[in-house]
Amino acid sequence: MTQACKLAAGNWKMNGLRADLAEARALAAAFPAPGCGIVLCPPATLLCAMAEAVSGSAIGLGGQDCHTQAAGAHTGDISAAMLADAGAHHVILGHSERRADHAESSALVAAKAHAAHAAGWVSIICVGETEAERDAGETLDIVLGQLAESLPEGAGAANTVIAYEPVWAIGTGRTPTLAQIAEVHDALRAKLPDRAISLLYGGSVKPGNAAEIFAIANVDGALVGGASLKAADFGAIIAALEAA
């Protein structure tokens, strides 16, 4: 069986101006030949400039969303082809902030992933329970349901990464116990159409907790928000993944 690839992905969310490209440059300089994949997902406004800033380095770039269509009358939206034109080959889809703020359903996430895959790009599909769902004992039902409904036909290790992000752990400094992360990742791995799909954990990953999270059997890396904004912090997380 092919092994899942190790990946550290940074989600800058709605953060970052041109001055912050210095962080991307510093990261590229610190990891000329990394022992894992590294992807930065800045806001769309920074993609072209960041592509230039890290040109020739081992850093890959990703978008934070894409439309189901390649082009057309969709004000404010961005297509997978446009992301690629700007230098991105990954795209985060179905992040809980988009599911909540933009009422994105798993069916829409699957359609977007299908569009991204058809264009030849890699989707990072996010799943995760709310605190109320965890308290109600529904965690596995929720995340496995989201997985089944968000994965398009043809999803495999070449075009798909899954990120488990408990909604209540995002930006809060709270994380599940290692046993809780292991339980969800084991369940997700068992349901993947291709067991070599990389499984990332996301939600308050920091330099101080990265190593213990990466030591969990079915954790292949992380999708990092706040701590990916600074090269020093994200670099420490990447180093922990390289060492895992």
Residues that are catalytic: 95, 165
Which residue in the set 60, 63, 176, 202 belongs to the binding site for ligand 13P (CB under 6 A)?
202
Considering only the stretches 67-75, 180-188, 196-204, 207-215, report the one whose residues sit in contact with ligand 13P under the rule CB under 6 A: 196-204
Considering only the stretches 153-161, 163-171, 208-216, 231-239, report the one whose residues sit in contact with ligand 13P under the rule CB under 6 A: 163-171
Choose between 82 and 210: whose C-beta lies nearer to ligand 13P. 210
Q: With binding defined as CB under 6 A, does residue 95 bind ligand 13P?
A: yes
CB 124, min distance to ligand 13P, A: 9
Q: Answer for the pair 83, 50: CB distance below 8 angstroms, yes or no.
A: no
- Which residue in the shown chain puts its C-beta closest to ligand 13P? 225
Largest CA distance in the chain: 48
Which residue in the set 205, 210, 231, 239 belongs to the binding site for ligand 13P (CB under 6 A)?
205
Backbone angles phi, psi at 129, to 5 degrees: -95, 155
DSSP string across 20-87: GHHHHHHHHHH-SS-SSEEEEE--GGGHHHHHHHTTTSSEEEEES---SSSSSS-TT---HHHHHHTT
* Residue in this structure with the two tokens 């599909």, named with its chain if needed: 125
Backbone angles phi, psi at 148, to 5 degrees: -60, -40
Q: With binding defined as CB under 6 A, does residue 129 bind ligand 13P?
A: no
Angstrom distance (rounded) from CA 7 to CA 43: 20
Considering only the stretches 15-23, 149-157, 208-216, 224-232, report the one whose residues sit in contact with ligand 13P under the rule CB under 6 A: 224-232
CB 165, min distance to ligand 13P, A: 5
Which residue in the set 152, 203, 221, 235 belongs to the binding site for ligand 13P (CB under 6 A)?
203
Which residue in the set 185, 226, 233, 241 belongs to the binding site for ligand 13P (CB under 6 A)?
226
Query: Cα–Cα distances in Å, from 104 out to 55, 79, 110?
Result: 33, 16, 10
Rg, C-alpha atoms of the chain: 16
Per CB under 6 A, contacts with ligand 13P among 1-60 are 11
Residue numbers at the binding site for ligand 13P (CB under 6 A): 11, 95, 165, 170-171, 202-205, 223-227
